[in-house]
Amino acid sequence: MHDEPLLNVSNLTVDLLTAKSAIRPVDGVSYTVRQGECLAIVGESGSGKTVMNFAPLGLMPTGVTTSLSGSVRFGGRELIGLPEQEVRKIRGKSIGFIFQDPMSALNPVRRIGRQIAEMAELHLDMTPRAAEARALELVKLVGISDPAARLRQYPHELSGGLRQRIVIATALAGEPKLLIADEPTTALDVTVQAQILRLLKDLQRRLNMAMVLITHDMGVVAGAADNIVVMYAARAAERGPVDKVLVKPRHPYTRGLINAIPKREDPIGSQFRGLPGIPPTLGAPFKGCAFAPRCDFSVPTCTASRPPLVPSADGSVFVACPVVNEGRAAA
> Which phi and psi angles does 144 have, rounded to 5°?
-105, 135
Q: Which of 157, 189, 202, 243 binds another protein (CB under 8 A)?
A: 157
Kindly tell me which of 12 and 169 has the beta carbon lying closer to another protein: 169
Q: Which residues contact 284 (CB under 8 A, 6 or more apart)?
A: none
Q: Which 162-221 positions form the footprint of another protein (CB under 8 A)?
A: 167, 170-171, 174
> Which phi and psi angles does 312 have, rounded to 5°?
-90, -165
Q: Around Cβ 142, how many Cβ atoms within 10 Å?
A: 23
Q: Is 10 in the site for another protein (CB under 8 A)?
A: no
Q: Minimal distance in Å, beta carbon 50 to another protein? A: 11
Which residue, 215, 174, 171, 176, is CA-closest to 197? 215
Kindly tell me which of 58 and 70 has the beta carbon lying closer to another protein: 58
* Cα 163 to chain centroid, rounded: 20
Q: Tell the burial category of 177 from Cβ atoms under 10 Å away from its Cβ (0-12, 13-18, 19+).
A: buried
Kindly tell me which of 102 and 252 has the beta carbon lying closer to another protein: 102
How far is it, in rounded angstroms, from Cα 247 to Cα 243? 6
Kindly tell me which of 130 and 261 has the beta carbon lying closer to another protein: 130
Q: Is 246 in the site for another protein (CB under 8 A)?
A: no
Q: Is 118 in the site for another protein (CB under 8 A)?
A: yes
Q: Which of 62, 145, 208, 271 binds another protein (CB under 8 A)?
A: 62
Contact residues toward another protein (CB under 8 A) are 57-59, 61-63, 88-93, 96-97, 99, 101, 104-110, 118-119, 122-123, 154, 156-157, 167, 170-171, 174
